[in-house]
């Protein structure tokens, strides 16, 4: 009886030490996320990849705008120093070259300083004044330095006088020469080819007055620009000496010894650009031609040249003739000239006072009588 009773007890009331029934699992609690299905995992992966792709595209697009500016700031120059050459005799083409390039420097935002590379003994006064005005205007808006190699005299010195700083090579041969020179005056006599007494030209006294007027303008411009630096008085400046490089620095016609590269570096520093490019503007190559020397009187050289009919016999040129003559063998080679004659004009017509005239024949006669 007891055995049947025991077998009829519900399973849950069993007190047996061993329980072979499977363990019942608890329902998931709210803080436990159910496992993701396979389909949900695929959607998430697609969404993630799309988001990454969009982010990459946005980064690349931003790089198109940011990268060039960053690259330029790291590898490109901060600005440009323009080097403008003033070489040889100053004439209309030289003045145009300097004016055009200085104008471009003022209008070009990338150019922040200018260096004038000078090797010239001067030239036409009007063209020298054009260059002077262009340099003065440019120096008012940016640093302008000048570097003289061998020659920086007369009209060339006038042109660079407004520069903020003038460098010269210690071995420079001619710096300064503040003055003018002109052709020897022609006699003021009857001339069948003119319609008025003054048509052929002014008398010698008038020509000397014209030269002095130009010289005074020249001197005043130099004193205005460099009066605080030049150690000489007005009379000494008007003496129109051409100084060696060492002398020019000592008397204030130049500021310091140096060459183009040093001037470029200093001009860039003055403009506040550490990393700079150099843009060199050269003058056109012009080959000097040999011109026969007729006579020389007190530094005035008169030559024969009929290649430029636009010049007249009385044209006054702001030049330093003593620095322009280069002796080659027994000939005189000149890169420019201070006066002109027609090819068929006698030498004697170039000197009204007959002072310093040089004739091949010491026994030359005039009208059949001894001169």
Through-space distance between the first and last CA atoms of the chain, rounded to whole angstroms: 185
Percent helix, percent strand, percent coil in the chain, to nearest 5: 35, 20, 40
Total residues belonging to the chain: 371
Phi-psi region of 368 (alpha: psi -120 to 50; beta: other; left: phi over 0): left
We find that the CATH architecture of domain 75-178+232-281 is Alpha-Beta Complex (3.90)
> pLDDT digits over 305-361, tens only?
334 434 333 333 343 344 344 443 344 443 343 333 333 444 333 333 333 333 334
Question: Cβ distance 327 to 296 under 8 Å?
Answer: no
Question: Cβ distance 153 to 245 under 8 Å?
Answer: no
Token pair 């300097």 is found at 98
Handedness of CA 115, 318, 306, 329 (dihedral sign): negative
pLDDT of residue 362: 38
Q: Would you say the pTM of this structure is higher than 0.85? A: no
The domain ranges of the chain are 75-178+232-281
Query: How far apart, in whole angstroms, are the C-alpha atoms of residue 148 and residue 212?
Result: 27
Handedness of CA 345, 209, 173, 92 (dihedral sign): negative
State the average pLDDT over residues 281-293.
56
pLDDT of residue 32: 54
**What H or E segment, with its residue span, contains residue 94?**
helix 92-107
pLDDT of residue 288: 45
pLDDT band at 101 (very low <50, low <70, confident <90, very high): very high
Question: Cβ distance 101 to 348 under 8 Å?
Answer: no
> pLDDT digits over 227-249, tens only?
888 888 888 877 768 889 999 99
Which residues contact residue 163 at a Cβ distance below 8 angstroms, ignoring those fewer than 6 apart?
116, 135, 139, 144, 145, 146
pLDDT of residue 34: 55
């Amino acid at each position: 009886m007891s055995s049947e009773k025991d077998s009829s007890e519900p399973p849950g009331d069993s007190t047996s030490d061993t329980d072979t029934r499977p363990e019942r699992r608890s329902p998931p609690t709210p803080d436990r996320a159910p496992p993701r299905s396979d389909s949900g995992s695929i959607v998430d992966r697609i969404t993630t990849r799309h988001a990454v792709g969009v982010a990459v595209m946005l980064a690349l697009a931003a790089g198109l705008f940011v990268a060039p500016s960053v690259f330029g700031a790291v590898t490109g120059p901060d600005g440009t120093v323009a080097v403008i050459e003033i070489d040889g005799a100053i004439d209309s083409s030289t003045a145009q070259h300097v004016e055009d390039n200085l104008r471009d420097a003022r209008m070009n935002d990338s150019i922040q300083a200018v260096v004038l590379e000078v090797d010239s003994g001067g030239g036409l006064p009007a063209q020298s004044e054009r260059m002077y005005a262009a340099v003065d205007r440019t120096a008012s808006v940016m640093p302008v330095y000048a570097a003289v190699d061998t020659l920086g005299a007369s009209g060339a010195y006038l042109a660079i006088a407004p520069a903020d700083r003038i460098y010269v090579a210690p071995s420079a041969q001619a710096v300064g020469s503040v003055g003018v020179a002109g052709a020897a005056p022609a006699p003021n006599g009857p001339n069948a080819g003119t319609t008025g007494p003054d048509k052929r030209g002014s008398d010698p006294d008038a020509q000397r007055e014209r030269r002095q007027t130009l010289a005074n303008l020249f001197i005043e411009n130099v004193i205005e620009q460099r009066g605080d630096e030049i150690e000489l008085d007005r009379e000494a400046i008007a003496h129109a000496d051409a100084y060696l490089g060492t002398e020019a620095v000592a008397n204030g016609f130049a500021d310091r010894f140096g060459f183009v590269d040093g001037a470029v570096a200093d001009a860039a520093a003055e403009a506040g650009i550490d990393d700079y490019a150099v843009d060199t503007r050269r003058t056109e190559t012009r080959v000097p031609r040999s011109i026969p020397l007729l006579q020389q009187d007190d530094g005035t050289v008169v030559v024969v040249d009929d290649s430029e009919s636009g010049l007249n016999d009385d044209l006054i040129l702001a030049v330093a003739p003593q620095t322009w003559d280069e002796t080659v063998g027994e000939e005189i080679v000149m890169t420019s000239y201070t006066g002109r004659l027609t090819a068929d004009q006698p030498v004697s017509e170039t000197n009204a006072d007959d002072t310093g005239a040089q004739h091949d024949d010491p026994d030359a006669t005039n009208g059949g009588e001894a001169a």
